[in-house]
Amino acid sequence: MKTDDRHLEVAISAAKEAGRIQKLSFGRPHPVEYKGKFNPVTEVDRLCEQAIVKTISEVFPDHDVLTEESPFNDRGSPYRWIIDPLDGTTNYFHGFPCFCVSVGLEVEGEVSLGVIYVPMLNELFYSEKGKGAFLNGERIIVSRIDRLSRSLLCTGFPYDVHEHADFYLRYFRQFITRSFAIRRPGSAAIDLSYLATGRFDGFWEFKLHAWDVAAASLMITEAGGKVTDFQGQPFNIYSEEILASNGFIHEEMLQAIQEVQKNA
């Protein structure tokens, strides 16, 4: 089974509608609830999810939909949409304009399509398996930086960083002393999309979810980059660790991680 133009059109339409909702409500006060101690959700998260699911279900009513904010109802379809309706919720309700919509489509266990929409910059990233990656219609490729010491990296911290700060900071210290610089924007989907277009050179993080990485990990490989786990094995969107790069610095990043693990 393959995707066709309808799948991409629906994904883009759904992402743009969610982005419209985000822009409309941005900068206003938002009641915030917490899933656990530090994992926030707002009404906008839920409104965006409803809009995306409605757009997809109207065209593909038999497809499965996995989203961040609702329980998964497995119909057994070979098509599974994987959605983060608002990636960067903490940024959003603080008025920091770094957030996005992520819509991925997994077909028979393989991510085949991905769309990331950054509404405040009107940046639409999209890719299809075997067809390349694009930003606002222009093809994108990863950077050509071939040394970790000259690389701009990005990362994020899981919500349990308060309980395990020393563990995560071992990796941060390793990379901040080996790379040119590190950024921590607060939206994994944006981080990975920016890597795909050459703005970042490498990325690592723990405990992300499928909806954080499904669409954007495809973007990277279609832009010529590389995505693995921390052992260099093929990446699984349902695993809890991700290492992504332009490919040129991947081995150096793996070595840096292995040093941390060896000395832990």
Q: What is the mean pLDDT of each run of 10 residues along the chain (264 residues)?
A: 85 98 86 64 87 96 88 84 95 94 97 98 97 98 98 94 92 97 97 98 96 97 98 95 98 97 86
Cβ contact 189:195 at 8 Å: no
Token pair listed for 234: 């093929």
Against a cut of 0.85, is the pTM above it?
yes
CATH number assigned to the domain covering 148-263: 3.40.190.80
pLDDT for the residue 158? 87
pLDDT of residue 161: 87
Contact 108, 209 (CB under 8 A): no
Give alpha helix (H) positions in the chain. Answer: 5-25, 43-59, 89-93, 165-178, 188-196, 210-222, 250-263
d(CA 41, CA 68): 10
pLDDT of residue 77: 93
Tell which residue, 233, 227, 57, has the closest CA to residue 127: 227
User: What is the residue extent of each domain of the chain?
Assistant: 5-139, 148-263
Quote the pLDDT of residue 75: 81
CATH fold for the domain made of 5-139: Fructose-1,6-Bisphosphatase; Chain A, domain 1 (3.30.540)
Give the pLDDT score at 103. Answer: 98
